[in-house]
């Protein structure tokens, strides 16, 4: 399978994050993708760099003020104090509930809170360029499928995207790559698109972006949001609204769910995809469902990812697979390539 990969990803390399209130080394690191890249090369998959710019498509997914902030955030941070060069910024305050969000504050850390859903999304000088290249890969993959008739492509990219909302970052995510891919399909006259998110953590922002739309179906298999990040979306009663009523499906599963239960949920989601008869599929491929993942609690083994790829292939749709989470770095490459080779029937 053709995989899109950009060395630019290494420019996003923060040293630490706050996880459940504790300062810890980052789970989402360049090493993750380097391991995936090495396994792709070892197994003979073709590697390409992104070929298309996503600027026009980004504005269909994210707000203009948010995009402007992301592009200029590091410069704003340095303008506060040149010594900030070696300091990772984090939000100081969030505009919750009755506080105003229509006015952008001048104070940078307050502004950062306006555009953040948490303090687990550290950024550095190269974050915008790395995130932009990941989104470019999503658009490039869609263009490849349409222009060549290729059945599927893989975006081996980071930072991930499915927690990035229309106007906020969160959960290591800055631009919503899966939503960008769906928007790119729509811009190329694919009338109906399905996004299937199999990450352990609910794709809250992908859901939010398309919640009132009937042209993009969003389906999530994930950990129970009562106990797992992102906590405030992902319940089974969230089914869409207005034109999107019935086009959103959440299948939350309990911690420790075995592969048998997970695949039952996957089959149910795939049947719903088939029922809606989309023209294309985007897969948010979270590999943190692996039994050894340090921040997730499902029980899939490496061979189960081959089965996942085979099940996705049965949908017989043009498919863009976008890498999301997965933090058991040693096994990440094997698990990613197993999905691709399961899809291709290798």
Cβ contact 301:259 at 8 Å: yes
Q: Which residue in 12, 45, 52, 163 is the catalytic one?
A: 163
- Residues 17 and 3: their CA atoms lie apart, in Å, by 29
Q: Is 251 helix (H, G, I), strand (E, B) or coil?
A: strand
Q: Which backbone phi and psi does 304 adopt, to 5 degrees?
A: -70, -25
Regarding beta strands 22-25 and 16-19, do their DSSP bridges make them parallel or antiparallel, or are they unpaired?
antiparallel
Local structure of residue 42 (DSSP, 8 states): H
Local structure of residue 113 (DSSP, 8 states): H
CB neighbours of 225 closer than 8 A, spacing ≥ 6?
202, 231, 232, 233, 234, 235, 252
- Residues 216 and 207: their CA atoms lie apart, in Å, by 10
- In the numeric block, the tokens 């997914």 are attached to 61
Write out the DSSP string of 263-308: HHHHHHHHHHHHHH--SEEEEEE--TTBTT-TT----B-HHHHHHH
Annotation marks residue 163 as catalytic: yes
- Residues 244 and 272: their CA atoms lie apart, in Å, by 14
Local structure of residue 212 (DSSP, 8 states): T
N-to-C CA span, the chain: 11
Q: Is 152 helix (H, G, I), strand (E, B) or coil?
A: strand
- Residues 302 and 322: their CA atoms lie apart, in Å, by 18
- Residues 97 and 100: their CA atoms lie apart, in Å, by 8
Work out the angle between the directed axes of helices 30-42 and 329-344 (0-180°, nearest 10): 40
Q: Which residues are catalytic?
A: 163
């Amino acid at each position: 399978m053709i995989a899109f990969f950009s060395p630019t990803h290494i420019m996003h390399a923060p040293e630490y994050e706050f996880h459940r209130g504790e300062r810890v080394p980052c789970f989402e690191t360049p090493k993750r993708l380097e391991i995936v890249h090495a396994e792709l090369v070892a197994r003979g998959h073709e590697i390409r760099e992104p070929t298309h710019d996503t600027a026009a498509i980004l504005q269909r997914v994210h707000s203009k003020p948010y995009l402007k902030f992301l592009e200029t955030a590091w410069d704003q941070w340095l303008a506060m104090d040149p010594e900030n060069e070696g300091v990772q910024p984090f939000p100081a305050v969030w505009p919750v509930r009755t506080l105003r969000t229509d006015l952008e504050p001048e104070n940078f850390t307050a502004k950062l809170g306006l555009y953040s859903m948490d303090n687990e999304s550290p950024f550095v000088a190269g974050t915008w360029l790395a995130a932009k290249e990941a989104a470019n890969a999503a658009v490039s993959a869609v263009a490849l499928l349409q222009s060549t008739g290729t059945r599927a492509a893989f975006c081996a990219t980071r930072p991930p995207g499915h927690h990035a909302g229309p106007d906020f970052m969160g959960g290591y995510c800055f631009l919503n790559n899966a939503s960008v891919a769906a928007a790119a399909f729509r811009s190329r006259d694919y009338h109906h698109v399905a996004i299937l998110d199999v990450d352990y953590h609910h794709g809250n922002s992908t859901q939010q972006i398309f919640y009132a739309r009937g042209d993009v179906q969003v389906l999530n298999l994930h950990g129970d949001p009562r106990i797992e990040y992102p906590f405030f979306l992902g319940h089974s009663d969230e089914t869409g609204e207005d034109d999107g009523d019935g086009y959103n499906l959440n299948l939350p599963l309990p911690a420790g769910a075995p592969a048998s239960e997970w695949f039952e949920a996957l089959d149910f989601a795939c049947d719903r995809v088939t029922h809606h008869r989309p023209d294309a599929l985007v897969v948010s491929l979270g590999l943190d469902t692996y039994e050894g993942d340090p921040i997730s609690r499902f029980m899939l083994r490496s061979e189960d990812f081959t089965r996942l790829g085979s099940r996705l292939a049965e949908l017989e749709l043009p498919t863009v697979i976008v890498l999301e989470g997965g933090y058991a770095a040693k096994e990440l490459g094997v698990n990613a390539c197993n999905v691709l080779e399961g899809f291709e029937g290798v």
